[in-house]
Structure 1
Amino acid sequence: MTGLSQPMSPPAARPIAPPVMLARAALWAAVGFHLLVVEVMFALYGTGKNGILTAAKFFGLHAALLMMLQLTLIARIPWLDRRIGMDRLTAWHRWIGFSLLWTVVLHGSFVVLGYSALDDAAPWTTFFALAAVPAGLLGICAAAIIVGIASVSFRFLRRRLSYEVWHGIHMCVYLALLLGMVHQFLEGTTFSSPVATLYWWALWALVLGALVGGRVILPLWRNHYHQFRVAAVVPESDDVVSVHVTGRHLDRLPARAGQFMIWRFPGHNRWWQANPFSLSAAPNGRSLRLTAKAVGSTSAGLRHLPVGTRVFAEGPYGAFTSIHQTKPARLLIAGGVGITPVRSLLEESYVPTVVLYRVPDLRDAVLLAELEALARERNALLRVLPGRTGPGNAPFEPQGLYALVPDIQHRDVYVCGPPRMTEAVVKSLKALGVPGIQIHAERFALA
């Protein structure tokens, strides 16, 4: 444990408005603007052959808009990701996905009912007649894929599937997207105005451009440019290992302390095996470091990586950084291997800082020697809190946090650890009256 005094250098100037609020406002303003334009175009040029088919077109149009929004949220647009965070963007993507499910079902149902009324035929007869037409068949297949993907995304099914299986099924959404777009093109009856049609397809081009740019072009370019390779492998404990990665021009990689990257090690693991590991040291322009606990075959095998192994890294990602700092002091709370992004944040910290490190036993406190050295250099207060939570040992209850950090309301609080611990800490912070804008917690996971 070391003492707390004054920062080594003045903190950077804080923005007038928190970046997360600006990013959310920009995102939803753009969504609102395009939604308004499309609603006006539909009102002017979207009438169907009867009232039921007009409703079908309405739901089909909004299903496409929801799909556009979903793709935008997972496009990994750097500006949004650094301010909102991949975890929140992914959570929004998931819930919008369920809205998409019901919108697609309503669209299909109204199409069948509308043509059934138009042709004075039974609904099932109309369904098979539509399936015999290329545009109809493509739409039915796209809808079936979306229903299937949404079904395995319900929590009780999702938890029973490995990430690789779930991800493989989820990737079929791109097939549904392709089939749906061809379906739209063949139908060609959404808008009766050429200008409205041009706007619609330009909107699609913008969304697909962002998706391909963020998910394909940018990662490929960065890996070609930086040429990441394993420089060293350092065991930190029996089940924790650090991997040092070097490359070219790392000073131009826009990585910040607290962020994570998605790591692949081609030749050592299968190409689809990827893990999101935080940067456990602040980027210095010469190397990157990840520190991982062996919780699966991929992470367990990291200690056997040969030096010189080629690395494919996506990112950096995440909003767990100092750009969200709103107060001239901070509290860093870590549990278990959640210390890795906290350690990197401590390394770059030049404001009065308190670090609370929760571990089952002192022997589980990985990177402790580094933390103690950094705390001395940064004049930070480091407290290691060992033991299991129970009567007499509940440091993250409101009274426990207040006793450890009496000025907690005047600090930005960064929390990283197991989900249950993080939820308990956030709940206590709110009970202590810490404003939400000062609470920073991020889930480092792919899904």
Structure 2
Amino acid sequence: MTYRVPAPAANRPRTMHVRRRPRPTPAWWRDAVGVLCWVSVLVVVALWVSGRGLQTVADGPAGLLTSLGRLSGLIAANLLLVQVFLMARVPMIERSYGQDELTRRHRLVGFWSFNLLLAHIALILAGYTLRDHRNLLRETWSVVTTYGGMLLAVAASLALALVVLTSVKAARKTLRYESWHLLHLYAYVGVGLSVPHEIWTGADFTTSRVARLYWWSSYGVALGATLLYRIALPVWRTLRHGLTVREVIREAPGVVTVLLGGRKLHRMPVRAGQYFVFRFLDGPGWSRGNPYSLSASPAPDRLRVTAKAAGDGSSRLARLRPGTRVAVEGPYGRLTAESQVTDRVAMFACGIGITPLRALLEDRPGAEVLVYRARSLADVVFREELEQLSRRYGVALHYLLGPRLRGRESWLPEGARSWSDEDAVRRLVPGIARYDVYVCGPDRWMDAMCAALRATGLPPNQLHQERFSW
């Protein structure tokens, strides 16, 4: 396929602004979501108490272990549903927390759920062993082969174990994003396979009408949210807006921009700085979605994304042909002007992390400083556009070029070794504490950047970041 060389920024079509912006996110949504999660745990504990959980604790060692096993299993199941609900892309939740924070909370809740599941298995088997006066292996075999739904529960536990093992940081480093995402779908398998065991043998299901109402309602809400927001809404938006590839442009070494055309995009509730999960319907592998930030302010008939080749999904962008249809899920993310609390904005970008900040710069001409860290001038993405926007809006534009500084974790290049990280921030953005600061780049660079910003005394609510790690 032949690629055209991008025209100078002055000759490119000027991006039109979206005519209708999404409504601001109510501040109380975040608190409401947190309260509901904790209330669900308290309800589960209350149901355990009403089901003679405390009385059974006093029935000797076997009763103590069995009752605690019931409690740990109930909380584990509840946290598993909370985990599913957090990642169901519910707008109220996603807009309140942002996907990067939701991913961290999802992982934390998932590990707690799995650890409680292991405790449930161990405590129940130990309690049954004492009650039936058998050895552990015989009791385990008896439980698995004679209790209703236990074989499915074993399969559910194995599926969840696979998800947990591949969520460990060391494992994630060895997996491609596409492989990790596919394996993570086994969490839904685990949830589904665990239901028969709870219905057929769970004391709360078999003895308490109130508990049955709670659990069936919880499963129904989780399933409904997943079907509505993970499947129905993306399908509806894909069909309504009819996105297709218009053009593919090489921006820098290994960096590709894709221009997407569509209809009624002014009806899409998207802001500059957000991202979508895109599926390009160009052949094998189309079902695997990849998240890409908008690299320009959204227009009524056009979106633009830019990515660096870092995996199968992003590498295939360079091979896309005009006319390729696109399935879309989103928009997501909170790296937007909505979170701004002051009237001044400074931006720090590294590498391909410039993409959402480039869109924000165009959408928010009130920005005053942009600091862009890159290895060389040839690696600066959108150089002509950034310089044009800098002149148009009076933004101070700084390029920090060179290889990574060795010997310490820093956001600075080797040539700035004489500066400390926080002093460099103060020199580039005097009075940094009076600014809202937007940061985007690789994880290690962002860690160093955010540490430097905190060291300058920047208030936490003025630091805005979004990470796309998985």
Q: Tell me what 1:24 maps to.
A: 30
Residue 115 (1) aligns with residue 128 (2): yes
Distance in structure 1 (CA, Å) of the matches to 2:321 and 2:290: 18
Is 2:147 the partner of 1:139?
no
Range moving further from structure 2, 192-201 or 63-72 = 192-201
Corresponding residue for 1:346?
361
> Which deviates further from its counterpart, 297-306 or 179-188?
297-306
Q: In the alignment, which residue of structure 2 is the partner of 1:155?
A: 169
Once structures 1 and 2 are overlaid, which stretch shifts more, 134-143 or 337-346? 134-143
Higher RCO by CA contacts (8 Å cutoff, separation 6 or greater): 1
The letter for the 1-side match of 2:152 is L
Q: 1:226 to 1:23 in 2, by over 3 A?
A: same
Deviation at 1:20, TM superposition (A): 9.3
Letter in 2 for 1:25: D
Helix, strand or coil for the counterpart of 1:283?
coil
Where structure 2 has 5 or more consecutive residues not aligned to the other structure, the ranges are 1-22, 404-412
The 2-side partners of 1:297 and 1:314 are apart by: 19
* 8 Å Cα contact 1:230-1:309 kept in structure 2: yes
Asked if the contact 1:329/1:411 (under 8 Å) is kept, the reply is yes
Do the aligned partners of 2:176 and 2:311 also contact (CA within 8 Å) in 1?
no
**CA distance in 2 between partners of 1:350 and 1:151 (Å):** 45
Work out whether 1:399 is the aligned partner of 2:405.
no
What is aligned with 2:105?
92
Identity in percent: 36
Deviation for aligned residue 1:144: 2.5
Q: Are residues 259 and 40 of structure 1, via their aligned partners in 2, closer, same or farther at CA, if it must alter by over 3 Å?
A: same
Distance in structure 1 (CA, Å) of the matches to 2:418 and 2:339: 28
Pairing 1:161-240 to 2, within 5 Å after superposition: 161-190=175-204, 192-240=207-255
1:8 corresponds to: none
Q: Specify the alignment match of 1:36 in structure 2.
A: 42
User: Which one of the candidate residues 290, 312, 315 is aligned to 2:327?
Assistant: 312
Structure 2 counterpart of 1:420: 444
| TM-score calculated relative to the size of structure 1 | 0.91
1:104 — aligned with what? 117
| Distance in 2 (alpha carbons) for counterparts of 1:347 and 1:127 | 63
Q: Secondary structure at the match of 2:245?
A: strand
State the secondary structure of the residue aligned to 1:121: coil
Q: Which amino acid aligns with 1:370?
A: E
Residue 244 (str. 1) matches residue 259 (str. 2)? yes
* CA 1:396–1:346: 2 relative to 1, 3 Å: farther
Question: What SS does the corresponding residue of 2:115 show, helix, strand or coil?
Answer: helix
CA shift digits 1:250-272 (9 cap, x unpaired): 11111110111111112245124
Residue of structure 2 equivalent to 1:263: 278
Alignment partners' CA distance in 2, 1:394 and 1:163: 38
Matching residue within 290, 307, 315 for 1:292: 307
Aligned partner of 1:81 in structure 2 is 94
Q: Is the 8 A contact 1:260 1:444 kept in 2?
A: no
Residue 344 of structure 2 is aligned to residue 329 of structure 1: yes
Q: Distance in 2 between matches of 1:394 and 1:146?
A: 49
Between stretches 186-195 and 250-259, larger displacement belongs to 186-195
Q: 1:62 aligns to what? A: 75
Aligned residues: 430
Displacement of 1:275 in angstroms is 2.0
User: TM-score, normalised to structure 2's length?
Assistant: 0.86
Q: Which segments of 5 or more consecutive residues in structure 1 lack a partner in the other structure?
A: 1-14
Between 1:431-440 and 1:351-360, the stretch displaced more is 351-360
CA RMSD of aligned residues (A): 2.1
Measured after TM superposition, the shift of residue 342 of structure 1 is 0.5
319-328 or 292-301, larger mean C-alpha shift: 292-301
Deviation at 1:396, TM superposition (A): 7.6
